[in-house]
Amino acid sequence: MSSRFDIIYNRRGSGCFKYDALKMLYGKDDLLSLWVADMDFAVSDQIQEALAARLNHPVFGYNLRLDDFYEAVINWQQRRFGWQVARSEIIAVPGIVPGIILSILSLTNPGDGVLIQTPVYRPFQDAVNDHGRRLICSALLNENGCYRIDWQDFELKLKEARLFILCSPHNPVSRVWSREELIRIGELCSKYKVRVFSDEIHQDIVYAGHQHIPLASLQDFQDICITGISPSKSFNVAGLATAVLLVSNPELFTRVNDLNQKMHLYLGNSFGIRALIAAYRDSEPWLCELLAYLEENRKLIMDFLGSELPDIKLSPIEGSYLAWLDFRAWDLEESQLQAALVQKARLALDPGEKFGVEGSGFQRLNFGCPRSILMEALDRLKTLAKDYK
C-alpha cells in the first residue's frame, strides 16, 4: 500500500540547501542527498492550508503572536510529554541555534567554559567558539556502537563550565536519554551550579521502547534549564525559521529575553508563526503517519546493514531520522572515505568529523526520505562495499 511519504518531489532549483548546495559542498550535484537534517516529505495538509490562508491576506507587516500561538505550544508539551508550561515562560526565537547563542551571550562571559558531549551537532561547537567562550568537550563512550555518558569525565568537565548544552534526543548518535540518565545530568549540573541549554528539537521523533522526557520537567531542574523546541524537524518546516525557548526561572528568562529583544530577533516570520500553530494544534495525525513510515525506514536500514553490509556498523536508532554509520572496518582515511562515497557511490552523507574528532570514520545518513530513495542509497553502499572487503 502506497503512502503519501513515498512521493518523490524534485527540490532542485528551489533554493533548497539540501540539493542546491551539493555542487558547492561536494563538488558534484548528481548525488543522492541524505545529509542535512530536513526531510523530503510534503508538510501536512493542515500546514499547507494555514499558509495558503495567510497568503490570501496580502499584507505582511510586523507580527504579534496571538493567544493561539502560545496555546499551541503549551497544549503540545502537555499532551505529548505531560509537561505544564506557562505562557510567561515562552520566548519566541528564529531557531534553536540562535537560542543557544542568546543563552551563551546572556548567561556566560568571554572565556567562560561551555560544555558539550561529542560527537554532537556541529553548530554547538561553533556557537561556543564564535563567541569567545571556551569549548569543553566530554566525549560519549562508544561501546560496540552503543553510546553512553562517561560520568566521571562529565562531572570533571562540569567543574570548569558555566553552561552545558545537552542534545536530547542526541544528534547524531540517536540516543534518547533515559529518566535515570536525565536525573543524573540534572543533579550534577545543579551540584556545580551549571545552567543547561537542552536542545530538544527532535523530541517528537522517538521509536518504540523509548520515551522523550524534557529535562526541565524532572524534579526542580526547571530552575537551571532553558529548553529549545521547534516544529522544524518533526513537521519539516525548518525553512520557516520558528522556534521557542521554554524558561521557567524568572532570572534566566529575563536575561535571555532581554537580549532577544535588544537584537530584534523576536518579531518572527508571518508564515512560520502560522505553521507552528497548524503543526502543534492540527497535525498530530500526520505526525503519527510519519513516525510509522520512519519506523519502517529505520527497520530497513537495520535489516539491510545486518544482512548485506555487516562491516558497516549501525548505532541503535532510538530517536530522530538520523543513522550513525561506522565505516572504520574499511580502514580508510577520512578523505578517502568521503571520496569513495561521493565519487563512486554518488552519495552525499554527512562526514562524521563534522561532529567532533570522535566522528572520524563515521557518516550520518538522513533516512527522512521516500523508501525508494533510501533503498537506492543502500544498494549503492552495497556495490561500493565490494571494493573494501
DSSP string, 138-165: -PPEEETTEEE--HHHHHHHHTTEEEEE
pLDDT single digits (tens) 41-85: 999 999 999 999 999 999 999 999 999 999 999 999 999 999 999
pLDDT at residue 126, rounded to an integer: 98
Mean pLDDT of all residues in 24-38: 97
User: Do 20 and 169 fall into the same domain?
Assistant: no
- Cell readout for 186 is 540534572
Query: Residue 246: enclosing H or E segment and its boundaries?
Result: strand 243-246
pLDDT single digits (tens) 203-258: 999 999 999 999 999 999 999 999 999 999 999 999 999 999 999 999 999 999 99
pLDDT single digits (tens) 330-351: 999 999 999 999 999 999 999 9
User: Do 187 and 243 fall into the same domain?
Assistant: yes
Q: What percent of the chain has pLDDT over 70?
A: 100
User: Do 293 and 265 fall into the same domain?
Assistant: no
pLDDT at residue 296, rounded to an integer: 98
Q: Classify residue 153: in a domain, yes or no.
A: yes
Choosing from 282, 303, 322, the residue where a domain stops is: 282
Q: Classify residue 38: in a domain, yes or no.
A: yes
Exposure string (b/e) for 310-347, b if CB count within 10 Å is 16 or more? eebbbbbbbbbbbbbbbbeebebebeebbebbbeebbb
Q: Classify residue 52: in a domain, yes or no.
A: no
pLDDT at residue 137, rounded to an integer: 98
What mean pLDDT is reported for the chain?
A: 97
pLDDT at residue 241, rounded to an integer: 96
- Cell readout for 37 is 537534517
* Residue 271 to residue 51: CA distance in whole angstroms: 6
Count of the separate structural domains present in the chain: 2
Q: Classify residue 298: in a domain, yes or no.
A: yes
Q: Classify residue 51: in a domain, yes or no.
A: no
User: Do 211 and 125 fall into the same domain?
Assistant: yes
User: Do 36 and 113 fall into the same domain?
Assistant: no
Q: Looking at the predicted structure, is the pLDDT value of residue 388 above 90?
A: no
User: Do 135 and 190 fall into the same domain?
Assistant: yes
* Residue 103 to residue 197: CA distance in whole angstroms: 8
Q: Does the model's pTM come out above 0.95?
A: yes
pLDDT single digits (tens) 255-301: 999 999 999 999 999 999 999 999 999 999 999 999 999 999 999 99
pLDDT at residue 389, rounded to an integer: 72
H runs (alpha helix) in 263-317: 270-282, 284-308
Domain that holds residue 174: 59-282
* Residue 57 to residue 222: CA distance in whole angstroms: 40
pLDDT at residue 356, rounded to an integer: 97
Q: Classify residue 50: in a domain, yes or no.
A: no
User: Do 199 and 142 fall into the same domain?
Assistant: yes
User: Do 136 and 257 fall into the same domain?
Assistant: yes
pLDDT at residue 1, rounded to an integer: 73
Considering only CA atoms, which of 166, 38, 154 is closest in space to residue 100? Answer: 166
pLDDT single digits (tens) 132-170: 999 999 999 999 999 999 999 999 999 999 999 999 999
Choosing from 282, 297, 329, the residue where a domain stops is: 282
Q: Which amino acid is at 106?
A: S
Choosing from 251, 282, 313, the residue where a domain stops is: 282
pLDDT at residue 101, rounded to an integer: 98
